[in-house]
Amino acid sequence: MKEYKFDSKIYASEVGKGGAYVIFPYDVREEFGKGRVKVHATFDGVDYDGSIVNMGVKNEDGSICYILGIRKDIRKEIGKDIGDVVLYMNKGTVKWFNAEKGFGFITGEDGNDVFAHFSAIQGEGFKSLDEGQAVTFDVEEGQRGLQASNIVKD
């Protein structure tokens, strides 16, 4: 699973009134094997559930540009609008976590599992996760493959 964390400028939609979107800087077909993907993510820490889609927009090199709509209520909550930059981050669900051993797995938005160690959980006190709990996280290369880092409980 790749790390889907990036900054993106907010662009005005040319269709409808007041719509906006950010560009997903990856080839969705190559990453997920299909052209439309449902995601659970955050924009500047505010939850977003929607889809990455191709709306006929092209990148400068002529390749397909995939986008995520960013609703007005989210823009209002984060205090940003057209032309501003937002941070997009992965969201996932805890598949299982063994508090005694201090590790488990998170299922990411692409359906793949990523190793999670208690030391990557942000916050104070006892660090554990509950099965089915929603989290936001980064992905990095660990000693034995990909693992979650900067895990934040939602």
pLDDT digits (tens, 9 = 90+) for 102-133: 999 999 876 778 899 999 999 888 899 999 99
Domain 92-153 indexed as CATH 1.10.1740.10: no
Q: What is the pLDDT of residues 60-114, one digit of tens each?
A: 888 888 999 999 999 999 999 999 999 888 788 999 999 999 999 999 876 778 8
What ranges do the domains of the chain cover? 6-89, 92-153
Q: Positive or negative CA dihedral for 83, 84, 85, 89?
A: negative
Question: Could you give the 3-state DSSP secondary structure of residue 104?
Answer: strand
Residue 2 is predicted with a pLDDT of 57
DSSP state of 121: B
Mean pLDDT of 22-51: 85
> Which class in CATH covers the domain with range 6-89?
mainly beta
Question: Could you give the 3-state DSSP secondary structure of residue 63?
Answer: coil
Residue with tokens 């205090």: 79
